[in-house]
Structure 1
Amino acid sequence: MRPFTVEVGFFDTVLEIKEKVQKYRGIPISRQTLIFNNMVLQDEQDVGTCELLQDSKVQIIISQEPEKSNLLRLEEGPPIKRIELLFHMEHSSIPMSLEVDVGDTIGKLKERIQSIKSIPVNRLVLSFLGNELNNRSTIHECGLHHQSHIEVSIRASPPAAASTASGSNAGSKKLKLLVLPRCGTKKIPVEVNASDNVGELRKQLPILQEKLRFSLPSDGYFFIHKQSVMDDERSFRWHHVNQGDTIEIFNGWVTRGS
């Protein structure tokens, strides 16, 4: 049969599509089976649920009309519950065979592969006919049958989670700050570690002074952050210094009480 087109509405059901096929092509509804993305479409589903888009290609299977003079009484047997699937792993030319229950979910299938191949479940990607299989779908719902070929790929390891302030790498967090000399208006960009003591900034400033040509008080100075005097022996994190903050320089010295 040559391909033909049928105009449908977004909320049309599969049964209504079959009715249109019967009307325009003369194919009885009882003899029609519609398949899309290797899934049999159920009469009660609608176009939106089936994700049928403009120019979607739906396969129609037309069953043979039984001869009335030779009807047979057929009894439905028990459904096939277990099938064999073939898994094609990356970098392996020989597929891995597993016997599975058609009611198992794809997520459970991944757990079985993990137990054999020691690959984390969250890195396993199973695909059938180019479509990734959903963890919550059953093998039956995915249209998998005996000896279906499944492609198995492995996602790259997720990047390490960013460390928190209490983590072991928190001290390596870089802060880009601005220093404002008291005698001038030009802010000096500096970079420090959040875990560094404020005294480290005092060591950096003479080096930056030679490069950027700014003035530092010759008779001593101390640092102010958000109107609070900073202790050279405390870290920038302790002073709640954040990315992009400004630290001001004031003339003089701060003495500690006994």
Structure 2
Amino acid sequence: MVTIVSYAQEFTVEISDQEPVLEIKRRLGQFLEIPTSSITLSVSGWELLDGLDMEDYPIISHGTSIHLTVNPIFTAPLYNLSGKIHVNVKFPSKQITVQVDRTDTVRSLKEKIHIIDEAPIKRMQLYCNGIELEDDFRNLYEYGIKEFSEIVVFLKYVSRAKDVIPVRKLCFTIQTSSSLFNGARIPMEMKDSSTVSEMRNELLASKTIPRDEYIFVHKQRIMRESCSLRWHGVENGDTLFVFKGSISRGNF
């Protein structure tokens, strides 16, 4: 038995070690009468990934609380999406806290950052959980931003021809799962412009991991093969997790 905790209620369900995360989402979706694709499950801040089973998460045992969140498009009839929250705005060399309303637009957040820090609005690129907040007129709740969410700020450098973001060297760690090399920690150094695919190829070329299918996870989010480490918001000292397996692109 585990406890499912959501914004509106709390209840218990019975699960097995071999039960896939996606199957649990399906059962909860039927019970709550919401689409399976709108459900996110997490434990201690870790998102439970669709391609894995319960036994892949040793921290889950009898009585564990699993948090359920729902895509805002489906929560609107049930939950109040407005309300003041604080977000942590992270620059390369400092961090500030900004108070916003969840219904604020991305443009409004940029303006508030500008007032506090004087950073040029036109040069700002904002990321949350590796996703760029690229539509200035979308609301913050549409990006899943909540209390104390981390917003990473990049300032584009302007050249005569185009805006250019300087390339940086990143030092981070690859943490394997317990079933892969007994949970080994692998130090890595790459340019932040390198893609996840290039990182994978470097690991294969050095024979650090055998040739197989893997997924990489950063801050509870599955990383996209064609996107750069910078795009995912990877910073010096971060840890990237690698699991053996694959994820259906239809869920991305």
The TM-score bracket by the shorter chain reads 0.3 to 0.5
Computing the radius of gyration over CA atoms, which structure comes out larger, 1 or 2?
A: 1
Which structure dedicates a bigger proportion of its chain to strand?
2
TM-score by length of 1: 0.39
Higher RCO (C-alpha 8 Å, min separation 6):
2
